[in-house]
């Protein structure tokens, strides 16, 4: 009735080999300080000799934890935000997790049904924490996570009042710098192509645009303090996009129709900037000669865009790293301490403008 060993040595065998009890072996493995050096050495030797590797499942079962975290990616977003952004995030997360024995579970959520099932998923204690990217304002997942008291970190935030821990780029600052740059270069009729305004990131970038315009005394709207509201004459310099190239095209056409004299455009994403540039060229405008473009670097295509195109770079990989670090901390302390991290962006000037 015994002995259908799966081949691999168990903690028990290590204990025997080392001439100690199982408890001691467990303590050594988990780095408990309450072990004599002698015992510790013996155990470590036995582990090495036997090639012992702890069984995760057993550990998870007994310890009521999984040593795994989930990276949740809503499927639609994966397309929108151009993939390299995620790649970098993932790279960062991976880098941070490398020293840990924490596993990274990839969880793609594509349907509302799967979204619903996610609750169960978490409930089943299948992960110690959750990393969430591309959260929309009305995303119920963060609240669910909070209810379940599940450690979680968002990439970005739903609003200024985000309660769940998050790591975000300084979108306002980045946008502001981008627009200020255009203005510094002598552009006066600077327009912006926004992202979908139900996303905080899009609103933040629009805010940055407004602030920069206001700072320069140009009529970019009512802002200056950070409020997204505000309307006025400058509104005709604002066109809504949706972070897609086609959206960028549409918005650029709209802008051109409303203000043929536009001489600078800040697009809230490089993909939209690419679309805008295409339209500008079709319309016979020189870029950046007639119209200068600055985009937010969300995607790899930035590297393949017009070399003269300046853009706002986000510390994407660093964000991934930070997300993981924050999550690990949150898991370590059982307390629900929320952390809000905003990382600086950088204006990468490609050429003349």
Binding site for DNA (CB under 7 A): 1-6, 8, 10-12, 15, 19-24, 26-27, 29-30, 33-36, 38-40, 52, 54-55, 58-59, 61-64
**Residues in 62-81 that interact with its own copies by CB under 8 A:** 64, 66, 68, 71, 75, 78
Is residue 10 at the binding interface for its own copies, with CB under 8 A as the rule?
A: no
For residues 312 and 294, is the Cβ–Cβ distance under 8 A?
yes
| Contact pick of 10, 87, 228, 349 for its own copies (by CB under 8 A) | 87
Nearer to its own copies, 168 or 245 (CB): 245
What residues numbered 90-129 form the site for its own copies, per CB under 8 A? 90-91, 94-95, 98, 103-108, 110, 114, 120, 123-126
CA distance 237 to 258: 8
SS (H, E, C) 11-76: HHHHHHHHCCCHHHHHHHHCCCCCCCHHHHHHHHHHHHHHCCCCCHHHHHHHHCCCCEEEEEEEHH
Element (H, E) at 287: none
| Residues binding its own copies: number (CB under 8 A) | 48
* Nearest distance, CB of residue 36 and its own copies, angstroms: 27
Number of H helices, E strands in the chain: 13, 12
User: What track of x and - describes contact with its own copies for positions 217 through 246 (by CB under 8 A)?
Assistant: ----------------------------x-
Residue 265 backbone dihedrals phi, psi, to 5 degrees: -135, 130
Token pair of 349 as six digits: 């000037």
CB-based contact 345:173 (threshold 8 Å) = yes
What element of type H or E holds 347?
Answer: strand 346-348
State yes or no: residue 83 binds its own copies (CB under 8 A). yes
Question: Residue 98 binds what, of DNA, its own copies, none (CB under 5 to 8 Å, by partner type)?
Answer: its own copies
Q: Is 299 in the site for its own copies (CB under 8 A)?
A: yes
Nearer to DNA, 2 or 231 (CB): 2
At residue 231, φ and ψ (nearest 5 deg) are -145, 175
| Closest to 275 measured CA to CA, from 295, 238, 249 | 249
What is the DSSP pairing of strand 129-133 with strand 152-155? parallel
Provide the minimum distance between the beta carbon of 341 and its own copies in the complex, in angstroms, as a whole number: 22
350 forms part of the interface with its own copies (CB under 8 A): no
Residues that bind its own copies (CB under 8 A): 6, 8, 51, 53-58, 60-61, 64, 66, 68, 71, 75, 78, 82-84, 86-87, 90-91, 94-95, 98, 103-108, 110, 114, 120, 123-126, 245, 274, 299-301, 303-305
């Amino acid at each position: 009735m015994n002995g259908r060993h799966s081949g691999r040595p168990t903690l028990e065998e290590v204990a025997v080999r080392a001439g100690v009890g199982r408890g001691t072996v467990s303590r050594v493995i988990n780095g408990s300080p309450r072990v004599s050096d002698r015992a510790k050495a013996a155990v470590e030797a036995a582990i090495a000799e036997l090639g012992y590797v702890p069984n995760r499942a057993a550990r998870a079962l007994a310890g009521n934890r999984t040593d795994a975290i989930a990276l949740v990616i809503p499927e639609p977003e994966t397309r929108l935000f151009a993939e390299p952004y995620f790649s970098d995030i993932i790279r960062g997360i991976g880098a941070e997790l490398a020293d840990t024995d924490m596993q990274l579970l990839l969880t793609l959520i594509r349907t509302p049904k799967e979204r619903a099932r996610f609750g169960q998923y978490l409930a089943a204690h299948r992960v110690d924490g959750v990393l969430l990217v591309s959260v929309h304002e009305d995303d119920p997942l963060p609240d669910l996570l909070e209810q379940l008291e599940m450690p979680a970190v968002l990439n970005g935030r739903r609003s200024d009042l985000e309660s769940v821990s998050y790591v975000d780029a300084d979108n306002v600052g980045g946008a502001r710098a981008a627009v200020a740059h255009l203005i510094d270069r002598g552009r006066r009729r600077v327009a912006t192509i926004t992202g979908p305004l139900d996303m905080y990131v899009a609103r933040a970038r629009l805010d940055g645009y407004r602030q920069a315009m206001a700072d320069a005394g140009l009529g970019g709207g009512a802002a200056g303090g950070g409020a997204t509201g505000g309307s006025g004459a400058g509104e005709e310099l604002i066109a809504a996009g949706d972070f897609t190239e086609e959206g960028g095209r549409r918005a650029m056409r709209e802008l051109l129709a409303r203000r043929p004299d536009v001489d600078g455009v800040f697009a809230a994403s490089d993909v939209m900037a690419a679309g805008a540039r295409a339209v500008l060229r079709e319309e016979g405008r020189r870029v950046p000669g007639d119209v200068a473009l600055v985009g937010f670097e969300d995607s790899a295509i930035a590297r393949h865009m017009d070399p003269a195109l300046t853009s706002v770079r986000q510390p994407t990989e660093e964000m991934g790293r930070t997300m993981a670090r924050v999550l690990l901390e949150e898991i370590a302390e059982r307390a629900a301490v929320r952390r809000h991290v905003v990382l600086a962006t950088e204006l990468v000037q490609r050429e003349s403008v």
